[in-house]
Structure 1
Amino acid sequence: MKNIIARAAAIAAALGIAWGTPVMAHDDGTWSLAIHGGAGTLERSDMSPERDAAYRAALQTALDAGAAILKNGGSAVDAIEAAILVMEDDARFNAGRGAVFTWDGTHELDASIMDGRDRAAGAVAGVTGIRHPITLARKVMADGTHVMLSGRGAEEFAAEQGLETMPPEWFDTDARREALERLKAEKLSAIDVDIKFGTVGAVALDKDGNLAAGTSTGGMTGKRWGRIGDAPVIGAGTYADNSSCAVSATGWGEYFIRAGVARTICARVHMLGESAQAAADAVIADVGQMGGDGGVIVVAPNGDAVFSMNTGGMYRGRATSAGASEVAIFADE
């Protein structure tokens, strides 16, 4: 980050923009949405036609849920929550139902959300039994007293807010349990058994020119000691600011925290005048050099919806007011 700041004034001058000039959002009716359902080692040879089609259909359903809100003049925050709610209820993704198992055979869920209008944010970490962690994170944001709540305290807050809970077995899936058993039996790491990071997220620009971002996850298989990754960390897994961009990340959380991925991408857009694509590519390359992998989705104030990853694929989709509506899985799509 220091190097970025040190170079920013000179680059800004070369680009003919004033130092600190924000990238202004537009309110001309343009809207844009991008979603992800996890990045990782994805090979076509490992994907049956039926599974491929099922994932694409699931992504399209989530994309359509968020796009419908934006198309009808709804807010970016409403759109990203709507898209993420769909994926939290879909056992194909590692968020809500279908979340991975901890070492002790439980589910600990994390989520965060951020409103680019005023940088209001809310996050929850290590919660159990909450059907929709993204909604809980939004409740934390709306309350405004704190930004992040964890564990039992977050669950008490959820009860006060009347949020829906589900029994532990509702979150269970055979595939996730098999992954935990294999991790223990073969002494593997979560990276070996998860194959992909099924974290879900969404970023959006609404017709009023406001940006928002949200992320939700079950973490990594076999996690212990209350481990928390980047998903609920504002600035690492989630960030939104109308003056720069909105970002949601998926990947090896420890590296994304160390790189401050989401905030750094927005800083490059804001201070260096880089495009969302260039900034995302540079930061993901930095994560790779550190030894981490994963990807990001980014929406810029001009409506650009972009992806960047250093993995074989990322479950993803985007829709815009210009008529685009597409989903993809593999990196070369």
Structure 2
Amino acid sequence: MNIPAIAVHGGSGTIASSIDDPKIRKSYLDALREALEAGFSLLTNDGTALESVKKAVTVLEDCELFNAGKGSVFTSKGDHEMDAAIMDGKTLDAGAVAGIKGIKNPVLFADDIMKNTPFVFLAGNEAMEYARRQKYEFLPDSYFFTQLRYDQWTNLRGSGDVSLDHSSDNGHKFGTVGAVAVDSEGNLAAATSTGGMTNKAWGRVGDSPMIGAGTYAKNQTCAVSCTGHGEYFIRGVVAYDVSCLMEYGGMSLKDATNEAIFKRLKKMGGEGGLIAIDAHGNIYMPFNTEGMYRGLKNNRQTMTQIL
């Protein structure tokens, strides 16, 4: 057994040519490593898998390089709507939120919903009203402003088109962040957070906050966090599908993740990837796009990759 262990991702898709710049590439890899170190530190100090994924995703939400939290893309109205989910594989408890604004760390809000309400999923203005009652600090739009995201939006503003977090040279990157972990007791957890699509409208919500589509955890099978074209992950219930392939199909984690990404998702025309972990600390991170921002850490190795 190779536990405890953690894996993180920062999105998949066509990686921008600018990533060839050693300084830019290093900044992404350093951010992934920081998230891994923060989450793994908890695991090695009697922390739970749930605490670990929450911490790792918080680190990535605080980094403007990724489309989540501080680095979230602009909607058609010129603001930021964020989604997140978290799930405990031991209890199957889960919390999720969609379409929220001004909250620094959506994953912490999702965790709050899981632990302090009888519900799983809150959305929009009513979710924000609950946040106000819980005394959450609402940050100004300026906190979430980044020049890259603004430039992406201005290229689409008024067109009615949306973009899946495209890069400055028009490559497509599905910018979601996520983490999966197993703790020393063999408990699993998963968390995912995103700013969604550039120029999105009409309250569009992707797979990230949907339990079973973009986020899922169950001790008996695996924990999964997805990144990609959300509509396809929703239709394929991809995160839960991986779990089902293991539980009912008798597949290994490797075979189940490969089946989901390279066969089932691709057959629908969907692009993206996922990170997954089982109770033994096995980790697989398949993707059918050009690249994926990803990394893993356990007692034997620390690895971060972009392509």
TM-score range normalised by the length of the shorter chain: over 0.9
Of 207, 221, 229, which residue of structure 1 is paired with 2:184?
A: 207
What is the aligned partner in structure 1 of residue 293 from structure 2? 315
Counterpart-to-counterpart distance in 1, 2:73 and 2:209:
16
What do the CA deviations read for 1:253-282 (whole angstroms, capped 9, x no partner)?
000000001000011111122111211111
> Identity of paired residues, percent?
45
Instruction: Assess, with a 3 A threshold, how the Cα gap between structure 1 residues 29 and 297 changes in structure 2: closer, same or farther.
Output: closer
Q: Take 2:16 and 2:97, find their aligned partners in 1: how far apart are those partners?
A: 33
Is 1:31 aligned with 2:4? Answer: yes
Q: Who is 1:190 aligned against? A: 163
Change (3 A) 1:288 1:217: same
Structure 2: runs of 5 or more not aligned: none
Match of 2:271 among 267, 278, 293: 293
Runs of 4+ in 1 over 6 A off after TM superposition: none
- What is the total number of aligned residue pairs between the two structures? 302
SS in 2 for 1:183: coil
Retained in 2: the 8 A contact 1:29–1:207? no
Q: Secondary structure at the match of 1:309?
A: coil
Do 1:111 and 1:124's aligned partners in 2 also have CA atoms closer than 8 Å?
yes
Q: Is the 8 A contact 1:205 1:301 kept in 2?
A: yes
Letter in 2 for 1:146: F
| Structure 1 partner of 2:194 | 217
Matches within 5 A, 1:1-333: 30-42=3-15, 47-184=20-157, 189-191=162-164, 193-194=166-167, 195-285=172-262, 286-321=264-299, 323-330=300-307
- Give how far 1:315 is off: 0.6
Q: Does the aligned pair in 2 maintain the 1:183–1:193 contact within 8 Å?
A: no
Partner-residue secondary structure (3-state), 1:33: strand
1:164 aligned partner, one-letter code: E
The structure-2 alpha-carbon separation of the partners of 1:46 and 1:33, relative to structure 1 and needing over 3 Å to count, comes to closer
Q: CA deviation at 1:192?
A: 8.0
Partners of 1:41 and 1:29 in 2: CA distance: 32
Taking the aligned partners of 2:205 and 2:20, their CA distance within structure 1 comes to: 30
DSSP 3-state at the match of 2:108: helix
Report the Cα distance in structure 2 between the residues aligned to 1:316 and 1:167, rounded to whole angstroms.
30
Contact 2:227–2:272 (8 Å) recurs in 1 = yes
Contact 1:182 1:188 in 2 (8 A): no
* Counterpart Cα distance in 1 of 2:46 and 2:165: 43
Which whole-Å CA distance do the structure 2 matches of 1:132 and 1:249 have between them?
A: 19
* Two-structure CA RMSD over aligned residues (Å): 1.6
Length-normalised TM-score, structure 1:
0.87
Residue range with higher mean Cα deviation, 220-229 or 38-47: 38-47
CA distance in 2, matches of 1:175, 1:271: 44
Quick one: which amino acid aligns to residue 228 of structure 1? Answer: V
Check 1:186–1:109 CA distance in 2 against 1; reply closer, same or farther (3 A cut): closer
Q: Is the 8 A contact 1:29 1:208 kept in 2?
A: no
Larger radius of gyration: 1
Counterpart Cα distance in 1 of 2:116 and 2:165 = 39
Q: CA deviation at 1:183?
A: 2.1
Distance in 1, matches of 2:165 and 2:189, equals: 33
Query: Is the contact made by 1:132 and 1:164 (CA closer than 8 Å) also made in structure 2?
Result: no
For 1:130-158, what per-residue CA distance to the aligned partner results, in whole angstroms no more than 9, with x for missing partners? 00100000000002411000011111222
Change (3 A) 1:328 1:143: same
The alignment partner of 2:69 has SS state of coil
Match for 1:252: what amino acid?
A: H
Superimposed CA distance per residue, residues 74-127 of structure 1 (whole angstroms, 9 cap, x where no aligned partner): 100100011011110100000000100001111000000000011000000000
